Amino acid sequence: MKIKKFRAADSQTALRQIRIELGDDASIVGCYQVGEGVEYLVLDERSQENDTSTAVAKKLAAAEPEMNMRALQHEMGSMRQLLERHLRRLGSREVALADNTVAINLLRQLELDEVLVTELAGRLPKGESEQHQTLLLDKLLTNELPQREFSASGAVAIVGTAGSGKTTLVAKLAAQAVMQGERDSIGLISLDNQRIAGGDMLRAVGRILRVPVLVANTIDELQQALLAFRSKTQIFIDTPSVNLREPEQLLQLQQRLQIIPGLEVLLALPADQDWRGSRALVNAFTTIDISGVTLTRSDLAFSFGSPLSFLFSHRIPLALIAEGAGITDGLNAVDATSLIAKARALTQTDFTDAVEQIDIHAA
């Protein structure tokens, strides 16, 4: 006679395993709660070696209904304790949030994701005035904002969806380098094979800035372009727009980017994109090693709630902030204090007149 152990996340799963392996007449010796769930001790009557073991098995089998009932009572007691602990945590959390309504309201004014609101509110002291809470909150957001210093050296690829400002960002990076006297060190590459004449805009930028531009529609052409630019210290790469509903596009992009040595990848994140779009964006680009985020179209946003929620939730560092459609318009290093102050100012701005004017002109 042998006693066999069965472990599972819950009793229902364990009993199903026992039934499959030993049949409906299996004799359960005991049941215990373990770290990963429950453990059942069951007699393996298939290994009986003598009459004595058979007699023991029969005696235990006779006690099986009582043992099963005890096991069930034990499991129900454990589940009750777990549920009570969970309800106590929920109750204390609700009380804590109720005591800090000032902080919650300030966070919601920024239009942050509700999960993030709850998390950040729990880190602020209670019972403070709104003015003091605002100062504490802005300091917390400033200190916690994931950011990094951007250095335009080596190969830099800009990735993102259609309309995210990828090509404009490449143009701004190139223009900034030219204005710093680095014209001879720059090379531009377009991988945009999704649009008709996708590389034409980048060619136009190259003519304006007087820097070389190469278009690479295949991996072989990309390798040739990299070879041609081997003496360049700054290579800015414009990539095709990725449709988040077509994973094969992302796979093709990944295959091309992975052959570029020492590549830095920046994700173009539109400041005026909603939170759902931002979340879908980062989920789609998880297969690509993103070095940082550039906040684009920041001058068009009515709120910074969506990009801030994105940055705080996914901990991807913010590298640059871009605004304006012109290639010489703002491309700025990250100043967390100014960004949070601008986010706060947007919550106090009334855009009603601007929207009405847009509607009038559209009509």
Which CATH number does the domain housing residue 296 bear? 3.40.50.300
Q: How far apart are CA 138 and CA 144, in angstroms?
A: 10
Q: How far apart are CA 225 and CA 190, in angstroms?
A: 10
Query: Is 264 within the bounds of a domain?
Result: yes
Cβ-proximal residues to 55 (8 Å cutoff; 6+ apart), any chain: none
Q: What is the pLDDT of residue 275?
A: 74
Are both 172 and 199 inside the same structural domain?
Answer: yes
Identify the residue with better confidence: 355 or 187: 187
Query: Is 90 within the bounds of a domain?
Result: no
Give the tens place of pLDDT for each residue, 300-354: 888 898 889 888 888 889 999 998 888 887 888 999 999 999 998 998 876 555 5
Boundaries of domain holding 73: 2-79
Counted domains in the chain: 3
Are both 193 and 283 inside the same structural domain?
Answer: yes
Structure tokens at 278: 């931002």
First to last CA, the chain: 88
Check: CB of residue 267 under 8 Å from CB of residue 316. Answer: yes
Give the tens place of pLDDT for each residue, 56-97: 455 545 555 555 566 566 556 655 655 555 455 444 444 444
Give the tens place of pLDDT for each residue, 191-220: 987 665 668 889 999 999 999 999 998 999
Q: How far apart are CA 250 and CA 283, in angstroms?
A: 12
Are both 135 and 264 inside the same structural domain?
Answer: no
Q: Which of 44, 79, 114 is the last residue of a domain?
A: 79
Are both 186 and 68 inside the same structural domain?
Answer: no
50: confidence class by pLDDT, cuts 50, 70, 90 = very low
Q: Sheet harboring 292-296: ordered strands across?
A: 213-215, 186-190, 234-238, 154-159, 264-270, 292-296, 318-322, 331-333
The phi and psi torsions of 156 (rounded to 5 degrees) equal: -130, 120
Check: CB of residue 86 under 8 Å from CB of residue 65. Answer: no
Check: CB of residue 305 under 8 Å from CB of residue 274. Answer: no
Q: What is the pLDDT of residue 263?
A: 93
